Amino acid sequence: MTVSNPEQQPAATCPFSGNTESLTRRHDRLLPTDDLTPKGTLIQAQSYADSRDLLKGDFAQAGFLARIASNTKGSVHPPVLYMQGEEHTEMRRATAKYFTPTAVNSYGPMIAELADDLIGQLVNKGEMNLDDLSLHLAVQVASNVVGLTSSRLPGMEKRIEAFVGGKLDGEPGVTQKVSPVRDAAMGGAVGLFFMLDVKPAIEARRKERQDDLISYLLDRDYSDQDILTECITYATAGMITTREFITLAAYQMLLKPELRADYVHGTEKERHAILHELLRLDPVVTMLYRRTDQDTDIGGQTFPAGTTFALNIQTANADPAIMGDDAEQVCPHRTLPRGVQPQGLAFGDGPHRCPGAFLAIKESDMFLRRLLLWNDLEIVNHPSVGYNEIVKGYELRGLRLRLGTRKEDR
C-alpha cells in the first residue's frame, strides 16, 4: 500500500487541464495521451469511450487476480466476477432479484437500524474512526443479501478485511513476490472465514432455505468450496468498496460545507445525484482489466488475441469530451450525453456492471444523511489516502470524527 497526502499531490498533468477536486487521483497512472497506449505489457485505455467499449464487449475479466482466483483448488464454478458468456448471463439473471430497487428498499429498515446503532456508538464514545463504522455497515448490509448471518463469532469484518491485506498486485502480468508468510496468513484468513462465517451459514440453509444468495447457490448444487469463493467475491466486491466510498463521500462533504448542506437538505433524488457525482470523481476501483481472446478493433486500432487492457477509470470518468470542461469539479446534476451514467464507469458497464450499485448508493445515503445532519460533527483527524493494489482501489484510513460532547469535557 502506498500512502500520500491529498494536499501534497503534484499539479495535474495532461489530459487534465487544471486542478482536480478528486481526493484520490493517481498521478502515477496518467499517460500523456488519450489514445490506447502500451504501458509495460498492457494496453492502457484512458478515455471514457475506449473504456466503455472494452467493458461492454465480450472480453475476459483480467483483474482482481483473475488467474489465481478462477483456478482455486476444488472449485467447479468460477465466481461470478470471472464467469463469461451464457453461464455468466444466467447467473446474473438469476441473482438480479436480490438487487432490484424493490428488494433494496425492503432492506431499508435493517439499514436504518444499523445506521442508527452506529451513530449511537459514535455519540456514546464521542470520537470514532469513520472507516471502522463504514466497514461495519457495509459488511452487515451485504451479509444479509448474501446470507452470511449465522456466524459463530462476531468480528466478520476483520476476517474479511484480511483478504485484501496481503501485498499482492492485481495488475495482470505482475510477478507476485513469493512470501510463504503472506500465503499462510491468507490461507488462515480464508480458513477462519469459512469455519466461522460461511460453513454455519451453509448448514443453516441446508436445513432451511432463505431468500438469499447462499440458498440460491445451494439450489444450484454449489459445493462448499464454490460457495466460499463466491462469498469472498462479494466480500471484496461489495463490502470493501462500499466502505471506502462512504468514507470518501463523508470526507468530501465535511470539506465542502455548502455541498454538505445541499446534501442534507436535498430530496433522496438530489442526495443520490451528489453521491453519484462524488463517486464519478473518485471511483473506488481506479483500474479495471480485460483480456481479448480474438483479434479486436478498438479506438481505431487493431489488437491481437491475447492483448490485455488496463482501463483507467479515473481518467475515463473525468473525460472532458463526455463530462464537460468542468469534469474535474464536483458538479452534481451536470448535463450528460444520452446513455452516460452520472457516476461514469465507477460501477463498471456491460455484462459485469456492478449488481450492487443501487444497494451501495442506498445504504451510503441512509448512513451519511443521518451522520452529516449533526451540526456538531467535527473532523478530529484527516485520513491518509493510500491504494490497495489487489483491487486497485483507494483506501482512506484514520478519518476520526467527533460527535457531541468533547471527550475531555465529559
Residue 49's closest CA among 278, 334, 317?
A: 317
What element of type H or E holds 332?
none
Query: Grid coordinates standing for 302?
Result: 487493431
* From 202, 281, 354, 403, residue interacting with ligand HEM (rule: CB under 6 A): 354
Query: Which is nearer to ligand HEM, 37 or 144 (by Cβ)?
Result: 144
Q: Find the binding residues for ligand HEM in span 119-148 (CB under 6 A).
A: 142, 145
Alpha helices in 167-240 (DSSP H): 180-193, 199-207, 213-219, 224-234
As measured in angstroms, the least distance from the Cβ of 407 to ligand HEM is: 31
**Ramachandran quadrant class, 12 (left: phi over 0; alpha: psi -120 to 50; beta: rest):** beta
Query: Which is nearer to ligand HEM, 332 or 402 (by Cβ)?
Result: 332
* From 271, 291, 352, 362, residue interacting with ligand HEM (rule: CB under 6 A): 352
Amino acid identity of 64? F
Sheet containing 400-402: which strands, arranged edge to edge?
A: 127-129, 400-402, 378-381
Rounded Cα gap, residues 324 and 156, in angstroms: 42
As measured in angstroms, the least distance from the Cβ of 63 to ligand HEM is: 6
Rounded Cα gap, residues 124 and 142, in angstroms: 26
Q: Which stretch binds ligand HEM (CB under 6 A): 121-129, 153-161, 234-242, 367-375?
A: 234-242
Start-to-end Cα distance in the chain: 37
Query: Which is nearer to ligand HEM, 150 or 236 (by Cβ)?
Result: 236
216 scored as a contact of ligand HEM (CB under 6 A): no
As measured in angstroms, the least distance from the Cβ of 361 to ligand HEM is: 7
Q: Which stretch binds ligand HEM (CB under 6 A): 29-37, 101-109, 215-223, 343-351?
A: 343-351
Q: Residues in contact with ligand HEM, total (CB under 6 A)?
A: 26
Residue number with the shortest CB distance to ligand HEM? 356
Query: Which is nearer to ligand HEM, 163 or 234 (by Cβ)?
Result: 234
Q: Find the binding residues for ligand HEM in span 18-57 (CB under 6 A).
A: none
Query: Grid coordinates standing for 226?
Result: 464454490
228 scored as a contact of ligand HEM (CB under 6 A): no
Q: Find the binding residues for ligand HEM in span 144-183 (CB under 6 A).
A: 145
355 scored as a contact of ligand HEM (CB under 6 A): yes
Integer CA distances (angstroms), 194 to 40, 69, 74, 153, 186, in order? 37, 16, 14, 12, 12
Binding mask 55-94 for ligand HEM (x = CB under 6 A): ------x-x----------------xx----------x--
**Other beta carbons less than 10 A from residue 23's beta carbon:** 19
Rounded to the nearest 5°, which phi and psi values hold at 289? Answer: -130, 145
Residue 316's closest CA among 59, 49, 32, 22?
A: 49
Cis preceding-peptide flag for 15 (omega within 30 of 0): yes
As measured in angstroms, the least distance from the Cβ of 83 to ligand HEM is: 7
**Ramachandran quadrant class, 332 (left: phi over 0; alpha: psi -120 to 50; beta: rest):** beta
Strands 308-312 and 42-45: parallel
314 scored as a contact of ligand HEM (CB under 6 A): no
287 scored as a contact of ligand HEM (CB under 6 A): no
* From 193, 194, 216, 245, residue interacting with ligand HEM (rule: CB under 6 A): 245
259 scored as a contact of ligand HEM (CB under 6 A): no
∠81-82-83 over CA atoms, to 5°?
Answer: 100
**Other beta carbons less than 10 A from residue 17's beta carbon:** 13
- Residue 354 near residue 364, CB atoms below 8 Å: no
**Other beta carbons less than 10 A from residue 153's beta carbon:** 11
317 scored as a contact of ligand HEM (CB under 6 A): no
As measured in angstroms, the least distance from the Cβ of 31 to ligand HEM is: 20
Q: Which stretch binds ligand HEM (CB under 6 A): 235-243, 318-326, 327-335, 375-383?
A: 235-243
Query: Which is nearer to ligand HEM, 390 or 403 (by Cβ)?
Result: 390
251 scored as a contact of ligand HEM (CB under 6 A): no
234 scored as a contact of ligand HEM (CB under 6 A): yes
As measured in angstroms, the least distance from the Cβ of 390 to ligand HEM is: 13
Rounded to the nearest 5°, which phi and psi values hold at 43? Answer: -110, 120
Residues that bind ligand HEM (CB under 6 A): 61, 63, 80-81, 92, 142, 145, 233-234, 237-238, 241-242, 245, 284-285, 288, 346-348, 352, 354-356, 359-360
